[in-house]
Amino acid sequence: MAAHLRWGLHQMLRARNAAHFRVTDKTRASYHLQCTTQNPRKVQPLPGRGTTKLSVRHLSIQTQDTPNPRSLKFLPGKPVLGSGTLDFPSPSSAGCSSLARVLFEIEGVKSVFFGPDFITVTKTDEDVEWTDIKQHALEAIATFFESGDPITTGAVHHESSLSEDDDEIVSMIKELLDTRIRPTVQEDGGDVIYKGFEDGTVKLKLVGSCTGCPSSTVTLKNGIQNMLQFYIPEVDNVEQVEDEVDDINAKVFSALEHKLKE
């Protein structure tokens, strides 16, 4: 069974490679939303799990809870990046996005994450109330889309995208991540980024709502690892990694947070 599925995956890769192309600046620019709307007006909260709505003429922003109690997902009902993701783990990383910079100005915001059609905001601590953060974030997002400014002045990275230099195993790993795993993780306001494959170990970086999420270990081992091992016997283990700069930022933030509590 697994061998048959692997053969099907290999055929899919061959077809995908034939149609693979790079995203041009012109194509990427189409992901930038140009929206000319009136000033936002508040409407009544919607029934349901973690739903709040703010209308800006044709723009309706909703919020959704995520598995991470520190992260909240905002859905403007419009493309954010359109494709790909961008992670802003600290204010210093938000230089290419005016929206991210404004969100970091809200007291209690620790990190910001952009997805194809959503924005994830993570707060500093579970003790920080969502009420004020949510309202300020809704207003900031509505004002941004009203302005018509580009979501980012930098490139949108597709780190898991296939490369001509990938061998067969790496190509299959990336294909499974892109088609079976990342869409599910993005539904929860996060993403999983491929960082390498060495000695049977797949190295992945969890971003967005997945960062610091209590269930991230379960997702990594019971979900992602089991699926990769089922299709690709060469995979022995899945390991979570962080970029060196992210690790430094996390340590600095943790030290500052500890100092403020003293």
Q: Looking at the structure, tell me whether residues 6 and 98 fall in a common domain.
A: no
Q: Express each pLDDT in 7-50 by its tens digit.
A: 555 555 555 544 443 333 333 332 222 222 333 333 344 344 45
**Residues 243-250, mean pLDDT to the nearest whole number:** 50
Number of domains in the chain: 2
Rounded to the nearest angstrom, the gap between the alpha carbon of residue 203 and the centroid of all alpha carbons in its chain is 17
Q: Looking at the structure, tell me whether residues 141 and 36 fall in a common domain.
A: yes
How does 95-110 read in b/e, with b if 16+ C-beta sit within 10 Å?
A: ebbbbbebbbebebbb
Q: Looking at the structure, tell me whether residues 113 and 220 fall in a common domain.
A: no
Residue 58 lies in a domain: yes
Q: Looking at the structure, tell me whether residues 131 and 34 fall in a common domain.
A: yes
Residue 216 lies in a domain: yes
The two structure tokens encoding residue 37: 């709307």
Residue 259 lies in a domain: no
Q: Looking at the structure, tell me whether residues 33 and 131 fall in a common domain.
A: yes
Domain that holds residue 224: 2-23+158-247
Q: Looking at the structure, tell me whether residues 18 and 32 fall in a common domain.
A: no
Q: Looking at the structure, tell me whether residues 134 and 173 fall in a common domain.
A: no
CATH number reported for the structural domain that contains residue 63 in this entry: 3.30.1370.70
Q: How confident is the model at residue 182 (pLDDT cuts 50, 70, 90)?
A: confident
Q: Looking at the structure, tell me whether residues 55 and 106 fall in a common domain.
A: yes
Which domain-ending residue is among 125, 147, 169? 147
Residue 247 has pLDDT above 60, yes or no: no
Residue 257 lies in a domain: no
Are 97 and 152 a contacting pair, CB within 8 Å?
A: yes
Q: Looking at the structure, tell me whether residues 205 and 237 fall in a common domain.
A: yes
Rounded Cα distance between 114 and 81, Å, is 7
Q: Looking at the structure, tell me whether residues 212 and 101 fall in a common domain.
A: no
Instruction: Identify residue 219 by its one-letter amino acid code.
Output: T
Which residues partner with 205 through β-bridges?
Answer: 193
126 CB-near residues (< 8 Å, 6+ apart): 69, 70
User: How far are the Cα atoms of 35, 54, 98 from residue 143, in angstroms, in the given order?
Assistant: 10, 11, 11
Residue 112 has pLDDT above 80, yes or no: yes
- Separation of first and last alpha carbons in the chain: 58
Q: Express each pLDDT in 134-173 by its tens digit.
A: 999 999 999 999 998 999 886 665 555 667 778 899 999 9
Rounded Cα distance between 50 and 164, Å, is 43
The two structure tokens encoding residue 52: 């709040």
Rounded Cα distance between 91 and 223, Å, is 31
What is the structure's pLDDT at 1?
Answer: 54
Residue 255 lies in a domain: no
Mode of pairing for the β-strands spanning 59-65 and 71-75: antiparallel
What is the structure's pLDDT at 80?
Answer: 94
- Choose between 43 and 105: higher pLDDT: 105
